Structure 1
Amino acid sequence: MDHPHSHAHTPHLDAHHGARPAAQLDHHQKHDADDQAELLDLDAEVLAEHIASITAWLPLRTAPRRIVDLGCGTGTGTFALLDRFPDAHVIAVDTSAVHLQHLRKKACARGLEQRVRTVQADLDDPAWPALGSPDLVWASASMHHMAHPERALRNVHEALAPGGLFAVVELAGFPRFLPEAAPEDRPGLEARCHAATDRLDAEHMPHRGADWGPMLTAAGFRVEAERTLAVHIEGSRSEAIGRYALGGLRRIRDFAAPELSPEDRTALDRLLDTGGPHSILRRDDLAVRTERTVWAARRA
């Protein structure tokens, strides 16, 4: 998840955040990238079981030894794949220097630094970095950020080893956390917030929510399997869900405020006030609800 191709910054879980070295980012950009990294880490923590189920489902002929994670963010897919395939090495690719720094620190902390190589690259550039000849390419919540996904798909097809597998994972949208009737003074607030971000995203990310099957076929792949997973995790299972909801709604507030009514902005601000009585962190009715669709495509 991440982007700065030519796209605007959105509240969704993006891993491409900017191609400049971290030392060249201004304070606001660095703070935003750090906040985004924290949200990605919370996504990995809260949805770990679902990510593991996807890696276990992949229709692989043999365990891959060479893996590329496109749009790796802070390493959600990278570490899930390293856990699933203990003999594999991963090349983790992202445009964000900040996110790649986070990923490297986590790899060192887990003793996995010898099994991970990070590459900073903009996947919309016509010339891709050398990625070897991977057995598996994983792209989770990254393909829809590309301005030229057809070219990216062809590049993946050319890079894959014969018979290699390409796994495209896309979310139906940023997860929702509140009951439909919440908050009590502005029922349906979260749905209206998502509608606002969807309108803004449509201009910058026309491929979000796309059916990747036909595009994979057009790029020379054979789609072997497709699966949609419904995610519903009760908030009582993890205090991280509250922090995940807080971080996600903060990004929505920053991004979509002009699209919201004054009443909705006020209600949202009450939820985001961590010291107030209506803080989202005080709610006991949170849940994580979303869908993920996976396409598994073979290089013919």
Structure 2
Amino acid sequence: MTRRRWPFVAGAVTVLAGLVVLVGVTREPAVTVLPALAPSAPARPNPVGTWELTHSFRLEPGWRVNSQEVRELSSTSQLAGPDEGGPLYCTMTGHAAGVAMPRLSGGRRVQIGDRPGTYVSVDPKHRSRPHGAFWRGPDGRWANAWCQGGRTPSLALAEQVRFTTTPVRVPLRLDALPTGYHADLIEVRPPEEDAGPDVTLLLEPDDPDGPLPPLYALASPEPLSKVTRKDESLLLDGRPGRASAIGRSVCLTDRQLLCAGVQQTDGVGNANRWPPGQREPVLTTARSLVSADPADRSTWFEGRRAFPG
């Protein structure tokens, strides 16, 4: 199981809400011109991991995939399943070859297709302990599926899982990371109608207990809307952009919505000034963004090249 839970995507949506403010501009603010950075080499593949989707589904009616998260050696799908009281929240994680399965406490034997498995119930006193359905595919890789409805929907989800390996392609990459950060995951939300998918690159601080907040880099097919007078106009290495202290974000405005910012920021309750130490990492991330043509998938980057090595 990944440590990140369902609210992850909600955080990205909240960020977007903070970024795109539909308020007219009555006066164009002064433009802050940042000095040019030295040209950077193309981002190298990460030295560790595959950064690929590890599974697929043959979903029955009533199920849907809401988002997928790709890490170095695993990928997780967030799904909704059918239920009389409304859709169930479910999560499925598949691991790359060579990743060890955790030691399970208790549980009962179950059958998932033609494969033996184990189902472990949630421990109310220790909810972080491994729980859900655990089983191995034909090639020895293991997976974990869990639905909030318990054993029956968890096993129903597991039955629809197929162990596959699928390269991930994304419309943006980072040529550099801010000091004190490392690559954490790539999140892809399914496209809506004719639009392309929303893609987020998430960066975690090297010191999880330190003062630095998690950062994101976001590409979306949505255009930028008008911004408020409180936003700062920027010219980042010749590229026009906007910085929002309220949204804790910096967006490039020469293409589709392409932004960097602080993850899980409440754009409604934030002050009009950046907290100490937050603006510079966000600016560094925004200046390191390289965008492919969102309409031409042949120009997109492999997931393993989304972050510098």
Pair in the same fold by TM > 0.5: no
For this structure pair, what is the TM-score category when the shorter chain's length is used for normalisation? under 0.3
- Provide TM-score, normalisation by structure 2: 0.26
Which has more radius of gyration?
2
Structure with the higher fraction of residues in helix conformation? 1
